[in-house]
Amino acid sequence: MTVLAPYYTLATPRLSGFLYIGDDMQTNAANQASMLFPAMPIGKPQADRLVISLLMSSRYSSEGQSGSNSWIEDAFIGGVAATRNDGISSTERAPTAIASRIVPTGRTADIAYTLHNPQRGAAVGVGVFYGLSSDVAADSDRLRFSSDHTPSLAITIPAGGIGLWSVGIGNDRDSTLAWTGAPEIARRVDPGSFVWSAALVVNDTGSDLVDHVAEASWTFDSPCTMCAASFAPGA
């Protein structure tokens, strides 16, 4: 197994209290029934800290090409089952999901998930949202395309909240990948095998953003999935 060193974006928290911390990826030479990212940083401990994990898995990796189409079944943050707010529930080449859990203690946590069928590649992004009492998303949605290059989802982002989008692409479309409606915050690429990317909207407008649309696009059709979720402070 090859685990590529993560990078961490320690940006200043926005008015919403959200902080994107960083991401990591794996390429495996053998099929894996579950994926584990040990000791991922999760920020400063606090009683109302929500840890959000953006998950992607891939049938293929640069170290092996015989995985199966699958979906992410269960997610765990710090060894405890997390809420799977939305995610693909059909067999896909590059399934995605968004999981969350209130984690009041610790500065690191293992991020893990199980798969319906074994796969080879994986990526994860981690963010924290302070000021929450529930790990359930305010809104969420998902979509799957067997072949497309312009997936999009609309979600309502409560005032003071955030919206997150995660896309998994079953081929390497990194060179032309671009987002509209939400700025990209992370991208991981296994050349020739998969791309994972995430985008974020922080709603500091003072009112709800109803059915806010974000779209990822790239050149040439490719198997892909997308999921999105929004979270509200004090929810």
Token reading at 110: 């293992």
The predicted pLDDT at position 146 comes to 65
Q: Give me the amino acid identity at 228.
A: A
Both tokens of 185, joined, read: 């915050």
Torsion 39-233-97-228 (CA) sign:
negative
pLDDT of 180 strictly over 90:
yes
What is the DSSP secondary structure assignment for residue 193, as one 8-state letter? Answer: T
Least confident of 13-17, 147-151, 212-216, 223-227: 13-17
Answer whether residue 48 shows pLDDT above 80: yes
pLDDT classification of 198: cutoffs 50, 70, 90: very high
Least confident piece of the model among 123-127, 172-176, 178-182: 172-176
pTM for this structure? 0.91
